[in-house]
Amino acid sequence: MGKTEQNKTENSNKKKVKFQTIRGMRDILPIDQPYWDKIRKAVDKIAFDYNYGRIDMPMVEPVSLFERTTGKDTDIVEKEMYKFETQGKEKVSLRPEGTPSVVRAYVEHGMKTKPSPVKLFYIGPMFRYDRPQKGRYRQFFQFGFEAIGEQDPILDAQIIQTALRIFNAIGINKIDLQVNSIGCNECRPNYNKLLVSYLKNRKQSLCMNCRNRLKTNPLRVLDCKEEKCTQVIAQAPQSVDHLCPDCKKHFTYLLECLDELKIIYSINPHLVRGLDYYTKTVFELWSQDDKEGRASLGGGGRYDYLIEKLGGRKTPAVGFAAGMDRLVEVMKDRGIKGTKISKPKVFLAQLGDLAKMKSLSIFQGLEKAGITVAESFGRGNLKAQLKKADQLGVDLVLIMGQRESLDETVIIKDMIGGNQEVVILDKVVVEVKKKLDKIKKEVRIK
């Protein structure tokens, strides 16, 4: 093969290359954005109502931040983190969750001086190298709420109420709330001993993962979904039966607060959550759907030792997080609509280069007046432009051709009545507003 032919073959191969998203990643297309927009608006509205301030954290953090907080023996740190070394030899990770980053920011920026509780919320992408499946991606999106600096269980109840309000605001009302208390540093060691003793006697009936967890994190055995493990777990000692007086009082008052709010809940003695930093209250929110079955929407709990663990002073805190990808899936499955997109009222049609240039100033004037406008600057065919205007269902079409450009005029065509008139360019915004107001009044009368 000659050099020229070889170059042609290489160029041909280059043209055939098709790039696709990496496994577990995805594009969120315009057709799906109304669902995401509805969630974001609900989060922003309820964050404002409950006085939470927004915080945006870096997507890249030191690996040690998550090892120290989330736990070295958790699945997230052991198997799912996107870890790499920078050119400066720093060991970093794409963040797998939000709470450690929020706590790091709280300590780093001296937020302890602010009035307690410090209320923060975040929204953004997280990354976990997990097996992709419906509603679960390697790049996924979460929002989270954190209340730092108050140990009163009423904050636990309010954070649960906040989560439920957000889900209700986006149309998800059938929710199963499960709560538990896993104790504190005073009572949990004794409970762990009881649990390990019980599980060791039944070690041969546990899966291999749970046998390993007996040495590293026995509480995680209670979270196992393997059938043979669930049979063992069913008769295991329950943490709520072995709480110290302070934890028992805390949990009892939380349940009384939920009763006062008329929030329906169930106590799940096997609920522990999969992260090391939780203390006392833990909770999860599940969706019940006839078609798809149960889906976990989110969860959270109290983490009273985490701030101290990251170099701050001993500070109680509570929070929750929810997966937006899963919420969108549930919305679709239940036929819940996303944010209604306002359609344009006016279409701007133009013919010729001069008309296109002058149309830019018309577009700007209408946009400043708060009038939504559609256009098709790339097309020169008036018939095609009018067809697009008809498909969009606009009320008015503004037409500017070569003649109108020279005369400094615009044709306003009423797409409902079919009438049209010529107006001076300087008056076009005023005339459009008048006609839209008239159309609006006529629609109300009908």
CA distances (Å), origin 113, targets 119, 122, 148, 374: 13, 21, 12, 50
Please answer whether residues 423 and 431 qualify as being in contact, where contact means their C-beta atoms are separated by less than 8 angstroms. Answer: yes
State residue 75's pLDDT score. 73
State residue 444's pLDDT score. 59
State residue 69's pLDDT score. 84
The mean pLDDT of 152-172, rounded to a whole number, is: 96
pLDDT at 44 over 60: yes
Coil, strand or helix: which one is 197?
helix
> Which of 177, 152, 150 shows the shortest CA–CA distance to 163?
177
pLDDT digits (tens, 9 = 90+) for 225-241: 888 888 888 899 999 99
Give the whole-angstrom CA distance, residue 396 versus residue 416: 8
pLDDT at 151 over 90: yes
DSSP state of 223: G
3-state secondary structure 306-334: HHHHCCCCCCCEEEEEEEHHHHHHHHHHC
Highest average pLDDT, of 115-129, 132-146, 332-346, comes from 115-129
Please answer whether residues 156 and 302 qualify as being in contact, where contact means their C-beta atoms are separated by less than 8 angstroms. Answer: yes
Helices (H), 170-244: 188-200, 208-216, 227-233
pLDDT digits (tens, 9 = 90+) for 247-265: 999 999 999 999 999 999 9
pLDDT digits (tens, 9 = 90+) for 353-409: 888 888 888 888 988 888 888 887 766 688 888 888 888 888 999 988 888 888 889
pLDDT at 7 over 80: no
Please answer whether residues 277 and 305 qualify as being in contact, where contact means their C-beta atoms are separated by less than 8 angstroms. Answer: yes
State residue 289's pLDDT score. 64
**Beta-carbon count within 10 A of 276 CB:** 23
Q: Which two tokens stand for residue 133?
A: 């499946």
> Which of 328, 294, 284 shows the shortest CA–CA distance to 39?
328
Domains of the chain: 30-187+243-333 (3.30.930.10), 346-445 (3.40.50.800)
State residue 128's pLDDT score. 92
Alpha-carbon radius of gyration of the chain? 29
Residue entry with tokens 């929810």:
322
Q: Which two tokens stand for residue 387?
A: 């067809």
DSSP state of 4: H
Q: Can you give the pTM of this predicted structure?
A: 0.85
The mean pLDDT of 149-162, rounded to a whole number, is: 96
Give the whole-angstrom CA distance, residue 403 versus residue 341: 35
pLDDT digits (tens, 9 = 90+) for 343-366: 888 998 888 888 888 888 888 898
Average per-residue pLDDT for the chain: 89
State residue 73's pLDDT score. 67
pLDDT at 274 over 80: no
Q: What is the DSSP string of 37-56?
A: HHHHHHHHHHHHHTTPEE--
CA distances (Å), origin 368, targets 264, 327, 364, 372, 394: 48, 35, 6, 10, 18
pLDDT digits (tens, 9 = 90+) for 56-106: 999 999 999 998 887 776 777 777 889 989 999 999 999 999 999 999 999
- 397, containing H or E segment: strand 396-400
Q: Among 5-14, 62-71, 292-301, which is the least confidently predicted range? A: 5-14
State residue 290's pLDDT score. 47
